[in-house]
């Protein structure tokens, strides 16, 4: 088996002549106006120099025309956002047999694969993963398609004509379209947790809850009696709304591929500390009658955050979340917020047991459902309409695309509330703090980064993998190269049956799983020729056994045993010849016949009987020959060898 890492949390697995892609994530990059102007000036001089040396005047004019049109497209907006999927240049897309998705965040690049790169194979994901990914894709299109949507997203090189390769490598594209999303989603097969899928006759695939978000999964791939586990984005916080991390997926695993874990850092803030900090800032800001802006996605952690803030404000007294004038209102500003919040509350079976129990009561599993019903929580699809939305202050607002802070409504609210430093902006995505470069000019708002990261830490992996029973076979563990990876490898080095590999993007790791058994099927024709024989053991237990002789055919990874036509006799029936040497010796002992066994270089075995019997038996790969002049001896030998 070969494992190739082609991106962050993206792998190609090659096993049993199958090629499986795990995840297809999307990378985002934003260029502000000042950077573009500087880079374009540098690139223009470099491009002119190259053209003057290597191109004809006619070719130069054609290239300049293309350059000008793309430059005009880029300059039409203040800030451009471009997108990139993992590098598939060295991989033939048409050879990929299956795509498996771990969670909605790992699926955002899939439309490029299916609509622009020609992938036609199977795609598998859980039901909530498909729906939330679709909503997130639609949000990306709404935020980013207006700028450069008419530049073909199938082109991955258009920006490299303008910008230095050091700042913008190849592979960046504009966002896909809503039609691409619809077409892509139709190609995905939904599955449920613990649903066993048999694919390509030899591959069994099972999704287990990873505890990270609704529908997030760790995948178990079983083939040739070997288990391979892809431990993707995983959370061990069982008190949050998703179904808890199902650790049974690791039982008897022969290989575990770990991805998207938190790197150990002295600056790392635990989830509980970050949540306490966020709640404290929220309460202090509201107590001073000012506003709280939280840069948050419209799904996942938001479903817990709303309830936690509501509970905390109620516990400390003072103003609470509610629809009345003396209460604090909540707003979620996003074009997909209404669908996301409502869909989450019908996914009770994908939540933890406490939430699931609410399905049998007249309560919604998540608290935001009741808040929306009473009007304490309102959804604002867009701030671009001519009618300004009515926002009652002080309030709490969840807004924006946290992976691209300048898009969406975050900047709009920061401009509205920038005059007072008592207004607070909180960012909760670990990789997306608000810096001074992003803040609007003269913005006095207090910006605080409280990263709510629920993912597993790298140092948690050894404790999760420890089992009470000793491993039967060698287990292979693949972990990403990061700070602390060597310590994890050293910690597990005492376990002689665990081999640890540290990988980076681009690495190809060969794992020898030493398959000892293969599952085969017996053809109908051969099955009809099998005649079981009764055998009594210790006078009580009766077994049925039958020797099988045939030719193994391999087709589409399916192993099937067919009759060996070369061994058929004149009557068309195959003689079943028992040539197991130990059994033969036992038969001779039971008949009190001493024998001498000889073997030749060509594999022939000769059994010599005593000289007074003047008989011998030649055992070859496909036949048994009895040589004897005595009819009684020949009959006895036939009874030993032929059933």
Buried b (16+ CB within 10 A) or exposed e, 454-475: bbbbbeebbebbeeeeeeeebb
Q: Is the pLDDT of residue 229 over 80?
A: yes
Res 614: pLDDT? 84
Torsion of CA 433, 438, 440, 444, to 10 degrees: 40
CA-to-CA distance for 572 and 236, rounded, in angstroms? 64
Instruction: Calculate the CA 565 to chain-centre distance.
Output: 47
- 344's CB contacts (< 8 A; 6+ apart) are 214, 299, 303, 366, 368
pLDDT tens per residue across span 108-141: 999 999 999 999 999 999 999 999 999 999 999 9
Tokens of 114: 């299916």
Res 216: pLDDT? 96
Q: What are all long-range contacts of 42-47, with beta carbons under 8 Å and residues at least 24 apart?
A: 42/164, 43/162, 43/163, 43/164, 46/164, 47/161
Res 470: pLDDT? 57
Q: Is the pLDDT of residue 209 over 90?
A: yes
Q: Is the pLDDT of residue 64 over 80?
A: no
CA-to-CA distance for 139 and 109, rounded, in angstroms? 14
The CATH label, of 3.40.47.10, 2.40.10.10, 1.20.1740.10, 3.40.50.10890, for the domain at 271-449 is 3.40.50.10890
Q: Which stretch, 30-44, 216-230, 392-406, 427-441, has highest mean pLDDT?
A: 216-230
Domain limits of the chain?
2-31+76-147+165-264+456-510, 271-449, 521-563, 581-642
Tokens of 342: 């409502």
- Predicted confidence band of residue 264 (pLDDT cuts 50, 70, 90): confident
Tokens of 314: 């109620």
CA-to-CA distance for 143 and 137, rounded, in angstroms? 10
Res 76: pLDDT? 40
**Which of 8-12, 270-274, 521-525, 533-537 has the lowest average pLDDT?**
533-537
Res 46: pLDDT? 44
- Predicted confidence band of residue 634 (pLDDT cuts 50, 70, 90): confident
CA-to-CA distance for 371 and 323, rounded, in angstroms? 8
- Predicted confidence band of residue 258 (pLDDT cuts 50, 70, 90): very high
User: Sign of the CA dihedral 323, 326, 327, 332?
Assistant: positive
The CATH label, of 3.30.1490.100, 3.60.15.10, 2.50.20.10, 3.40.50.300, for the domain at 2-31+76-147+165-264+456-510 is 3.60.15.10
**Which of 378-387, 462-471, 475-484 has the lowest average pLDDT?**
462-471
> Once rounded to an integer, what is the mean pLDDT over residues 61-75?
38
- Predicted confidence band of residue 537 (pLDDT cuts 50, 70, 90): low
Q: In the Cβ-directed half-sphere of 43, how many Cα atoms lie within 13 Å?
A: 20
- Predicted confidence band of residue 438 (pLDDT cuts 50, 70, 90): low
DSSP codes of every residue in 265-297: -TT---HHHHHHHHHHHHHHHHHTT--EEEE--
For residues 291 and 393, is the Cβ–Cβ distance under 8 A?
yes
* Alpha-carbon Rg for the chain in angstroms: 34
pLDDT tens per residue across span 17-62: 889 999 999 988 876 555 444 444 444 444 444 444 444 444 434 4
**H/E run at residue 10:** strand 10-15
Q: In the Cβ-directed half-sphere of 160, how many Cα atoms lie within 13 Å?
A: 11
Q: Which stretch, 200-204, 289-293, 496-500, has highest mean pLDDT?
A: 289-293
For residues 178 and 138, is the Cβ–Cβ distance under 8 A?
yes
Res 574: pLDDT? 35
For residues 434 and 461, is the Cβ–Cβ distance under 8 A?
no
**Which of 184-188, 262-266, 276-280 has the lowest average pLDDT?**
262-266
Are 2-31+76-147+165-264+456-510 and 271-449 in the same CATH fold? no
For residue 24, report the phi and psi dihedrals to the nearest 5 degrees: -150, 80
Q: What percent of the chain has pLDDT over 70?
A: 79
CA-to-CA distance for 137 and 24, rounded, in angstroms? 13
CA-to-CA distance for 103 and 125, rounded, in angstroms? 8
**H/E run at residue 147:** helix 127-148
- 319's CB contacts (< 8 A; 6+ apart) are 286, 287, 313, 326, 327, 328
DSSP codes of every residue in 513-572: --------EE-HHHHHT---EEEEETTTEEEEE----EEEEEETTEEEEEE-GGGB-TTS
């Amino acid at each position: 088996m070969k494992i190739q890492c082609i991106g962050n949390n993206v792998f190609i697995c090659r096993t049993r002549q199958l090629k499986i892609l795990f995840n297809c994530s999307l990378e985002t990059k934003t260029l502000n106006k000042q950077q573009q102007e500087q880079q374009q000036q540098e690139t223009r001089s470099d491009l002119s120099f190259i053209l003057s040396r290597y191109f004809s005047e006619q070719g130069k004019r054609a290239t300049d025309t293309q350059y000008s049109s793309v430059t005009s497209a880029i300059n039409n907006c203040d800030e451009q956002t471009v997108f990139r999927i993992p590098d598939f240049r060295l991989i033939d897309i048409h050879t990929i047999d299956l795509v498996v998705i771990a969670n909605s965040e790992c699926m955002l690049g899939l439309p490029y694969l299916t609509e622009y790169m020609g992938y036609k194979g199977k795609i598998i994901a859980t039901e909530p993963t498909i729906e939330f990914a679709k909503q997130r894709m639609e949000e990306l299109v709404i935020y980013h398609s207006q700028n450069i949507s008419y530049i073909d997203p199938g082109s991955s090189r258009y920006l490299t004509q303008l910008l230095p390769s050091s700042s913008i490598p190849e592979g960046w594209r504009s966002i896909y379209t809503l039609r691409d999303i619809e077409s892509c989603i139709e190609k995905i097969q939904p599955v449920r947790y613990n649903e066993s899928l048999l694919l390509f006759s030899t591959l069994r695939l099972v999704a287990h809850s990873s505890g990270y978000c609704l529908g997030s999964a760790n995948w178990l791939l079983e083939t040739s009696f070997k288990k391979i586990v892809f431990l993707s984005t995983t959370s061990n916080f069982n008190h949050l709304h998703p179904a808890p991390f199902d650790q049974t997926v690791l039982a008897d695993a022969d290989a575990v591929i770990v991805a998207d874990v938190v790197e150990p850092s002295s600056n790392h803030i635990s989830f509980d500390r970050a949540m306490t900090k966020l709640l404290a800032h929220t309460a202090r800001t509201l107590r001073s009658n000012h506003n709280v802006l939280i840069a948050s996605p419209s799904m996942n952690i938001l479903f817990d955050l709303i309830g936690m803030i509501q509970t905390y404000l109620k516990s400390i007294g003072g103003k609470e979340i509610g629809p009345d004038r003396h209460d604090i209102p909540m707003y979620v500003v996003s074009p997909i917020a209404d669908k996301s919040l409502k869909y989450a509350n019908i996914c009770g079976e994908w939540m933890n047991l406490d939430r699931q129990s609410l399905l049998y009561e007249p309560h919604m599993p998540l608290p935001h459902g009741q808040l929306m019903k009473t009007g304490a929580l309102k959804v604002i699809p867009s701030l671009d309409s001519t009618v300004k939305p009515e926002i009652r202050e002080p309030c709490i607002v969840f807004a924006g695309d946290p992976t691209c802070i300048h898009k969406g409504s975050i900047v709009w609210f920061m401009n509205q509330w920038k005059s007072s430093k008592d207004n607070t902006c909180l960012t909760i995505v670990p990789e997306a703090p608000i810096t001074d470069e992003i803040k609007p000019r003269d913005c006095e708002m207090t910006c605080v980064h409280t990263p709510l990261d629920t993912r597993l830490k790298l140092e948690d992996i050894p404790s999760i993998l420890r089992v009470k029973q000793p491993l039967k076979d060698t287990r292979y563990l693949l972990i990403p190269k990061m700070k602390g990876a060597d310590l994890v490898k050293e910690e597990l080095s005492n376990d002689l049956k665990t081999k640890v590999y540290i990988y980076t993007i681009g690495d190809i790791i060969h794992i020898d799983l030493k398959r000892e058994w293969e599952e085969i099927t017996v053809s109908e024709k051969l099955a009809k020729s099998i005649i079981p024989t009764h055998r009594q053991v210790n006078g009580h237990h009766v077994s049925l056994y039958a020797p099988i002789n045939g030719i193994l055919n391999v087709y589409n990874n399916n192993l099937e045993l067919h009759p060996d036509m070369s061994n058929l006799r004149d009557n068309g029936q195959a003689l079943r010849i028992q040539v197991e040497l130990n059994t033969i010796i036992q038969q001779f002992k039971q008949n009190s016949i001493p024998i001498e066994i000889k073997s030749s270089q060509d594999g022939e075995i000769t059994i010599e009987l005593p000289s007074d019997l003047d008989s011998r038996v030649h055992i070859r790969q496909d036949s048994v020959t009895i040589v004897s002049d005595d009819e009684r001896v020949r009959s006895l030998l036939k009874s030993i060898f032929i059933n």
